[in-house]
Amino acid sequence: MAPPRARIKIAEPQIGEEEVEAVRRVLLSGRLAHGPVVEEFEERFAEYVGADYAVATSNGTTALFLMLKAAGIGEGDEVITTPFTFIATSNSVLYVGARPVFVDIEPRTYNIDPDRVLEALTPRTKAILAVHLYGHPADTRALREIAEDHHLLLLEDAAQAHGAEAYGERAGSLGDAAAFSFYATKNMTTGEGGMITTNDRKLAERARLLRSHGELGKYNHVELGYNFRLTSIQAAIGLVQLEKLERLNRARRRNASILNAELAGLNGVVTPHEEPWARHVYHQYVIRVTASPGRDVLRERLEALGIETAVHYPRAIPDQPLYKRLGIDCVDGCPHARRAASEVLSLPVHPGLGPEEARWVASKVKEIIMETI
């Protein structure tokens, strides 16, 4: 099979004339910063996820931070979360002065294991911060039960999960509040950007207040707030991307099913799992390479063929220098997270990848694995 193009990237923002035209309209409108376009984006996004309120922010990290802050989490509190995620998840807990408590993942979905959460509860536990890693939702039904029994908040890091579903409901409406990212590589993008969704009016109001210098009425500042606003330029892109999201997610799912079918039964490779109650939106298509000589060799060989891959993530968070220095380890040693960090490999799955290209990527993975083991 001939290579479909010289280089296949691991991510490719899907931007067309519609986004360009929407930005043009905002640029010529004279309202570049916060304004009605941002409010429209918030309304549409809330409607899409099935939440009452949405608060747009400058990026996913500020959305996480504001969500925790608006939820009243702070000094002396503990937040149970996953050690296998992007650093922003647990850093946001540190920003508000609380302590992230890491428990192991469930090895098939790579998401926080609800059974482990129970073992990590202390009188200081205030919330569970679940990540829907790679676009597969965490088991929010099991987590919600724990949260309700122990009077905790259930918070979602939905940065990778626009359009994902658990038990028929969308990410962003599965807990007390959720934070999204619209970074350039995400399932939908505004370049940089973020959103908090919630049904809690007070939480939304507080997030709005803190987002814009604690300002209640013009130049009346009632709290120590921040500038975490999204621009109208970004919101205009977001509105168009939101319209496209279902189509983009369907293309991701089609590519994932091609990769799954082609790689099925291949010794030394474990394809992604989708729970029967879940809709996976494949922000990343992640295989586990258990065969020797392993993930890094496969990665180098694919790179030489012009197939970009990535490792999400090469270290469990407690193994990052910052967390080692802070002395924050997993409470249970998190063997599954640490093993996953050495085995996972993300293959291209983005909507810009055509079906033939997906088949080609899979055929090369197969060839290399069969040659090397």
Ligand X SMILES: Cc1ncc(COP(=O)(O)O)c(C=O)c1O
Site residues for ligand X per CB under 6 A: 59-61, 64, 85-86, 88-89, 131, 157, 159-160, 181, 183, 194
Contact 253, 349 (CB under 8 A): no
Whole-number minimum distance, CB 95 to ligand X, in Å?
12
277 contacts: CB under 8 Å, gap ≥ 6: 141, 166, 167
153-157 and 177-181 beta bridge pairing: parallel
Token pair for 12:
């490719």
Q: Would you say 61 or 241 has its CB closer to ligand X?
A: 61
Closest contact distance (angstroms) between CB of 150 and ligand X is 24
Answer left, alpha or beta for residue 114, where phi above 0 means left and psi between -120 and 50 means alpha. alpha
Distance of closest approach, residue 349 Cβ to ligand X, in angstroms:
15
In the numeric block, which tokens belong to residue 322? 């910052």
Nearest to 328 by CA among 136, 172, 111, 102: 102
DSSP string spanning 170-214?
ETTSSSSEEEEE-BTTSSS--BS-EEEEES-HHHHHHHHHHHBTT
Q: Which is nearer to ligand X, 131 or 281 (CB)?
A: 131
Closest distance to ligand X from the beta carbon of 327 (Å): 23
DSSP E strands in the chain: the ranges are 53-57, 78-81, 99-102, 125-131, 153-157, 165-166, 169-170, 177-181, 194-198, 269-270, 278-279, 285-289, 344-347
Position 91, amino acid: N
Q: How far is the CB of 164 from ligand X (least distance, A)?
A: 12
> Would you say 90 or 365 has its CB closer to ligand X?
90
Which CB atom, from 156 or from 176, has the smaller least distance to ligand X?
156
Q: Going by C-beta distance under 8 Å and a sequence separation of 6 or more, which residues neighbour residue 101?
A: 78, 79, 80, 81, 120, 122, 125, 331
Q: Torsion over CA of 131, 208, 18 and 353, rounded to 10 degrees?
A: -10
Identity of the residue, 85 or 234, whose beta carbon is nearer to ligand X in the bound complex? 85
Residue with smaller CB distance to ligand X, 193 or 225: 193
H/E segment holding residue 301: helix 295-304
Q: Least CB distance from residue 64 to ligand X, whole Å?
A: 6
CB nearer ligand X, residue 53 or residue 313: 313
Q: Which residue is nearest to ligand X (CB)?
A: 60
State in angstroms the smallest separation of the CB of 38 from ligand X: 16
Residue 177 vs 258, nearer CB to ligand X: 177
CB of 259 to ligand X, least distance (A): 21
Closer of 192 and 357 to ligand X (Cβ): 192
Minimum CB–partner distance for residue 70 and ligand X (Å): 17
Half-sphere exposure of 100 (CA within 13 A, CB side): 31
**Which residues have CB under 8 Å from 72's CB, separation 6+?**
126
Q: Report phi then psi at 289, rounded to 5.
A: -105, 105
Report, in Å, the least distance between residue 110 CB and ligand X.
11
With CA atoms as reference, report the closest residue to 117 among 99, 83, 143.
143
Length of the chain: 373
Residue number with CB closer to ligand X (59 or 346): 59
